[in-house]
Amino acid sequence: MDTAYTIADLRKRLAGEKSIALVPTMGNLHAGHISLVEMARRRAGCVVATVFVNRLQFAPGGDFDRYPRTLAQDRWMLEKAQCDVVFAPDEDEMYPQPQQIHVTPPEIAKPLEGDFRPGHFQGVCTVVAKLFNIVKPTVAVFGKKDYQQLAVIRAMERQLDFGIEIVGGETIREPDGLAMSSRNAYLSPDERQQGLTLSRALAAAQASVAAGERNAAKLLDAARATIATARDAKIDYLELRDPDSLHLVETLTGPTLFAMAVFVGKTRLIDNRVLRF
């Protein structure tokens, strides 16, 4: 496995590659990231994983400075997963000048995370567009745990005609149901147990839908009651939305996205599930 720290070195390494799969990450990798690398491995001759903590997608006062940087461990995991190239630039390499040109995200970025994290998706779109231009992949793989992000990237790819296949990887969970996330490392043992209320609320909603419930308000009330059992939980949002348009849903008529963001202590967790019947 090769590691490139500069754009010039990465382009030199990738010259001549006929098919490239890109897996963008911010590092501090876990099994969820590795599952994306494994998907990429099946889709292209060369797999490139990026490890870059992107300041542009963090709010002022957010956790940019304390976000875990674990490059040595990340490289070990990626090599074991048969990744071909790791691109690990520093901030000066990615943004040698103040970034004055930004990619405006599409309408689908406005609800959910867009309501609570102003500027987040602009930062995501800008860095991903730069990575697309640097790597020139034939396919790029993103996780469905960040469901809205995947939808935003797909819309950006369509409107800017990158010619890249965007693939979504399923959320990988711990045995007890907690969605894997780099930010889980912030949770104390007690907070981690409280965090299980998110996946429990989603599972209960799916069971209710399978039993015939179609009223969004009733499903949301039940989920709030479940999360309220966690004493340190504070809900940012619990919403039922169309899985394609992300428009609000009041009555379920088909597959429906149940998306949530909840603070447990000082750690913000997101999770989602497409409810089916």
Which burial class, exposed, middle or buried, applies to 4 when counting CB atoms under 10 A from its CB (0-12, 13-18, 19+)?
buried
Sign of CA pseudo-dihedral 196, 201, 207, 209: negative
- 51, β-bridge pairs: 25
Residue 140 CA to residue 39 CA, distance in Å, equals: 10
| Per-residue pLDDT, 236 | 98
Q: Are 168 and 256 in contact (CB under 8 A)?
A: no
| Per-residue pLDDT, 62 | 87
Active site (annotated) includes residue 33: yes
What's the one-letter identity of residue 78? L
Tell me where in the chain the CATH 3.30.1300.10 domain(s) lie: 187-268
Strands 233-241 and 165-169 come out as unpaired
Q: CATH topology for 2-169?
A: Rossmann fold (3.40.50)
Q: Which of 124, 129, 135 is nearest to 159 (CA)?
A: 129
**Catalytic member of 30, 33, 102, 120:** 33
Secondary element (H or E) of residue 82? none
What's the one-letter identity of residue 176? D
Query: Residue 254 to residues 144, 150, 214, 258, 272: CA-CA distances in angstroms?
Result: 19, 20, 9, 12, 16
Tell me where in the chain the CATH 3.40.50.620 domain(s) lie: 2-169
CATH architecture of 187-268: 2-Layer Sandwich (3.30)
Q: Are 262 and 236 in contact (CB under 8 A)?
A: yes
Would you give per-residue pLDDT tens digits along the chain (277 residues)? Answer: 999 999 999 999 999 999 999 999 999 999 999 999 999 999 999 999 999 999 999 999 889 999 999 999 999 999 999 999 999 999 999 999 999 999 999 999 999 999 999 999 999 999 999 999 999 999 999 999 999 999 999 999 999 999 999 999 999 999 999 999 999 999 999 999 999 999 999 999 999 999 999 999 999 999 999 999 999 999 999 999 999 999 999 999 999 999 999 999 999 999 999 999 9
- 168, β-bridge pairs: 142
